[in-house]
């Protein structure tokens, strides 16, 4: 699987998956489009009814499938359509930051923003900032890392198995 997004000029371009709350951030992104506010096209938006419905597995699967960054957008604190969904999202976000750091993924590749429905310009600002930040970090190439991790695990396992196997006797003729 090719994990890079080539541009017409041959330069690499980051892939960013965004999980946006239906009631605020997704509506703000729609407002940006209707208002013809331009922002980087590197983002692919997945609409969730609430940022609190963002499962950590969604983020890990996005990285697994080649995303270079993940953006989560939700309602401002105390403005959640579902009362406390954004607080649930915040707890999961903090857990995910620790998890990806343990995996050797820079924390800047995962971002959480509170963006209300009226903040179309903030969508532009956040997306453009994140694209620049991910561009500076370079490609994540997570699927390629799996091969590297498998190779690292295979070598010690192979060495341990070889050490336990009896050495074959050589017949002298």
Q: Which domains does the chain carry?
A: 14-140 (3.40.50.960)
Q: What's CA 160's distance to the chain center, in Å?
A: 35
Q: pLDDT, tens digit, for every residue of 113-157?
A: 999 999 999 999 999 999 999 999 999 988 777 777 778 778 765
- Phi, psi of 45, rounded to the nearest 5 degrees: -95, 135
Give the pTM: 0.81
Other residues' Cβ atoms within 10 Å of the Cβ of residue 34? 9
Beta strands, E only, 96-159: 110-114
The pLDDT score that the predictor gives to residue 161 is: 54
How far is residue 96's CA from residue 37's CA, in Å, rounded to a whole number?
Answer: 31
């Amino acid at each position: 699987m090719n994990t890079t997004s080539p541009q017409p000029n041959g330069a690499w371009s980051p892939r960013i998956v965004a999980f946006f709350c239906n009631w605020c951030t997704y509506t703000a992104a729609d407002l940006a489009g209707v208002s013809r506010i331009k922002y980087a096209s590197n983002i692919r938006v997945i609409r969730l009814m609430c940022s609190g419905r963002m499962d950590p597995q969604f983020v890990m699967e996005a990285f697994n499938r080649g995303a270079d960054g993940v953006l989560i957008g939700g309602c401002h604190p105390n403005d959640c359509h579902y009362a406390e969904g954004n607080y649930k999202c915040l707890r999961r976000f903090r857990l995910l930051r620790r998890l990806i750091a343990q995996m050797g993924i820079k924390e800047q590749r995962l971002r959480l923003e509170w963006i209300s429905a009226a903040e179309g310009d903030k969508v532009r600002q956040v997306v453009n900032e994140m694209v620049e930040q991910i561009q500076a970090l370079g490609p994540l190439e997570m699927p390629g890392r799996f091969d590297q991790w498998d190779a690292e695990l295979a070598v010690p396992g192979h060495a341990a198995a070889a050490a336990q196997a009896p050495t074959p006797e050589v017949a002298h003729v």
